[in-house]
């Protein structure tokens, strides 16, 4: 008789989302090893700053492309590279864990490629809007705009489910409300900057994009409107 084994929770995580989380932590591990002298020699201490200089999203870079009408790969690539850079180990770890948890949940209702698109479209779109609103603002690093895009997908799925059950759909926004409240509290206590805007935009893009990515999403909305 073969031994019964419960399926590993990792198996249900979309492979592309798993790859994103591993890359987030892989980059951070390299930085940590460099800081501790375990890799790269004395110059490795500056690897994080060099990576931020070369791969963080640049508001001024976006403004330059818009002003000149010229697309430079050096600036454009930053829309998809900035999510893999973080300022601390804890920030990277938290981002990777949230990516896995939310990616697993959303991946149960969306195609795996759609979850991948949701993450990167939210991250890139949020950076563009942030750069347009604040062309002179500080640049962006960190996976959180993409993570908030997954939260947008999560919220849409809960919103859809509550609608199908005939319950109050505003409850679906409890998570984003809680997270924004936490950000507000930390902002008051420790100071904040304008980069929270990218998180909010990531959520909005993720929520709206889910109408396209969730199977039957538009049909459900159309049916609901017809009923009204």
Report d(CA 114, CA 104) in Å as an integer.
12
pLDDT in tens, 152-209: 999 999 888 887 777 877 777 887 777 776 666 655 454 456 788 999 999 999 999 9
Report d(CA 155, CA 209) in Å as an integer.
12
pTM of the predicted protein model: 0.86
pLDDT in tens, 22-48: 999 999 999 999 998 888 888 888 999
The first and second tokens of residue 3, run together, are: 């031994």
């Amino acid at each position: 008789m073969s031994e019964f084994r419960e399926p590993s929770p990792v198996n249900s995580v979309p492979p592309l989302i798993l790859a994103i989380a591993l890359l987030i932590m892989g980059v951070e591990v390299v930085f940590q090893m460099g800081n501790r002298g375990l890799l790269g020699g004395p110059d490795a201490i500056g690897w994080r700053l060099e990576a931020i200089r070369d791969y963080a999203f640049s508001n001024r870079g976006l403004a330059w492309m818009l002003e000149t009408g010229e697309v430079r790969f050096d600036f454009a690539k930053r829309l998809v590279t900035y999510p893999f850079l973080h300022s601390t180990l804890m920030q990277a770890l938290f981002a990777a864990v949230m990516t896995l948890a939310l990616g697993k949940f959303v991946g149960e209702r969306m195609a795996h490629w759609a979850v991948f698109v949701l993450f990167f479209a939210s991250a890139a779109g949020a950076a563009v809007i942030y750069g347009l609103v604040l062309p002179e603002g500080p640049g962006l690093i960190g996976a959180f705009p993409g993570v908030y895009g997954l939260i947008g997908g999560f919220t849409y799925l809960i919103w859809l489910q509550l609608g199908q059950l005939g319950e109050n759909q505003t409850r679906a926004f409890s998570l984003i409300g809680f997270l924004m409240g936490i950000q507000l509290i930390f902002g008051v206590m420790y100071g904040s900057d304008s980069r929270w805007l990218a998180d909010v935009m990531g959520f909005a893009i993720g929520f709206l994009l889910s109408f396209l990515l969730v199977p039957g999403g538009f049909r459900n909305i159309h049916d609901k409107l017809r009923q009204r």
